[in-house]
Structure 1
């Protein structure tokens, strides 16, 4: 029996937070699309396609931010869609300024793999640090 979408998404966060990047990437479909619409001042804004695109996105995050741990508040699933609410506090390397914000991540899971991720962030809070 395959894992349910909620369990797959929870595993993704668990592996990512534990530093097991390869294990978290293994939960992504080859054709995954990760979308993070942000103001142009934030360098990792955009749409990233495929596992290689997600790797490029994660590298941009690492180059730009000293990310604090992500705190998950709620994980709710309906069919193949999983919504996650959480919080992060991160520091922008270039400015030395920090931000703290709540966020929502929307995942779509098909055939045991994450095929889509869309982030909804508090861009006003982020911009203060950029």
Structure 2
């Protein structure tokens, strides 16, 4: 079983081939599209993965209010921007954060759990 984390890691910034105002931030094994000049290679960043529910104050601070997926426009999902897959969000690390820290609780970010369809509600009995 996997655990949900928002890790502080070092980003590697690469140019975006199809956009002048965007760059690709590589954080671990994932890529995220960011504004050009927002980060430099080696910067500490918090990587917010797919399926994260981001609180509204944090979305406002990042300038992303109303731009994400879900009924409340606060769920992170993978999208293609100018032909390049963006697999999450990247935000600048706050003072006091160290590489490898899990900051999900501090930021109020939780994993999105899809609702159970009404047709699947009911009693569960063990087989056997």
TM range (shorter): under 0.3
Choose between structure 1 and 2: higher strand proportion: 1
Q: Judging by fraction of residues, say which structure has more helix.
A: 1
TM-score (norm: length of structure 2): 0.24
Higher relative contact order (CA 8 A, sep 6+): 2
TM norm structure 1: 0.23
